[in-house]
Every structure is written in structure tokens, then in C-alpha cells.
Amino acid sequence: MSLTALRERSRLPTGREIAEIPWLAQLAPAHRQLALASLRSVQADPGEYICRVGRPATYWFGVIDGLLKMSSDNIMGTPITFTGVPPGAWFGEGTLLKGEPYRYNIEALRRTVVAGVPVEVFHELLEHSLPFNRFVLNQLNERLGQFIAAREIDRINDPDSRVARNLSALFHPVLYPGVGEVLRITQQELGYLVGLSRQRVNEALRVLQARQLIRIEYGGLRVLDLVGLRAYGPLSASPLPPDPD
């Protein structure tokens, strides 16, 4: 499905979708009305792209519900996954600020509802709204820390640690406020993000659950110790307790 077709399916957001946009409530009434008048929503199916490498950036996007994957290709043409993009996330502000084409792909891993603000309105809010400026600046600051951590994750060969660190990134309370304490994700989807098989992801999740860092629930994962999840590694992990059986 082309990006043009996705845009043609876009619609006005529902009241529930508007309520899921974290920065709207921070705006002054006139700026809030400006944003609401321009907002569009669309449901992307699995495999559809919201952004493509080399395409011009025309919208600032946010995830209302679902899960996206941010990736690119290296010089050998091999896909590289940067991060998952769960509910509550808004992304692409750096590209809009620089006026550059996209340097990454954004793909839906499942049916995902995405909202968008046109680039012209994004810059209008940035020019005249102090609360919007603060939100975007905070986004950029937090995202810088996230990508520094992602580079560290790339150097980790231990699969359990890779799963732990990638999971902790998806529970980021500032960048992804829509996640809360429970992330709705399948082991297959997590495998796509981490670069491991579903079976190996399952093994890692069992280890992390045994260490009381997460709890595996129906349809998702609950974080029990976010600090421990962020710091998890083969050298920091204490021995597992003996099996009671």
C-alpha cells in the first residue's frame, strides 16, 4: 500500500483518539483549536509504511494505538531496526526541524492508529506556543538518551540482556506515556524489534520473569522493576533461585 493511499484513507480523529494525545491539553485554547482543526488519523495495517527513507516529511506523527517499527538499511542493504514505537509516542520532530527527507522507515507491526499534524501547523505551534516548545524540546532530549542507549544495546551479545534493554526502552514514561506498566506486544513482534527468534525471545522473557523484573501476562508484559530492567546484564545478574521442584 502506498503512502498516498494511506493519506487518502485518513479521517478526522475521534474524541477518544484526541484524548490520547498528551500534548494537546498543554496548549492555550487558540493553539489547541489550531491543532485540532488540522489533525488527521488513519489505521495502518501490518506491513504498511507511515514513513519511507528519502521521502519528504509532511507530517508530525503520533501513535494512538498499536505498534510501529523504526528501521533503515545499512550499506549492504540489510535492515537495521532502531526501536519500536508504542502508544503515546510522537516522532519525526528532528526531521521536520531540519527540513530533511526521512532517513528511516516507519512500518506497522500490527493494526495501528496513527495521528498526524501537518508540517506547517507543527512549525506554527513551535513558533507561537511555549508549552508546545517545551514538549518538543523534552522529546528531543529524551530521544537523544534513547539512541545513545540503543548504540550500547547493539554491542551486547547476550540475548537475555538485549531483550531486557529493548523492553526497558519501550517502557519509557516520557516518550511513550500510553504504555503505562503493561506493554501489549507478542513475542513475535518483540523478536522483530530485537532481532531474535520468537523462541529465543520466549527464553529470555522467562529468565527476566524469574528474576522478578517483568511478569508475562495474557497479550503483553508488565514491568515490575524498570530500573533493574535497564541495568540488566550478564555481569549484574545474580544467580537464579533453585527450582522448587
pTM above 0.95, yes or no: no
The CATH number of the structural domain formed by 157-231 is 1.10.10.10
Q: What count of residues does the chain have?
A: 245
Whole-angstrom Cα distance, residue 205 to residue 159? 10
Residues of the chain within CATH 2.60.120.10 domain(s) are 3-151
At the topology level, CATH places domain 3-151 in Jelly Rolls (2.60.120)
Burial of 104 (0-12, 13-18, 19+ CB in 10 A): buried
Q: 233-245 burial string, b = 16+ CB within 10 Å, else e?
A: eeeebeeeeeeee
Q: What is the mean pLDDT of residues 85-97?
A: 93
Would the pLDDT of 242 be above 60? Answer: no
Residues of the chain within CATH 1.10.10.10 domain(s) are 157-231
**Average pLDDT for the chain:** 87
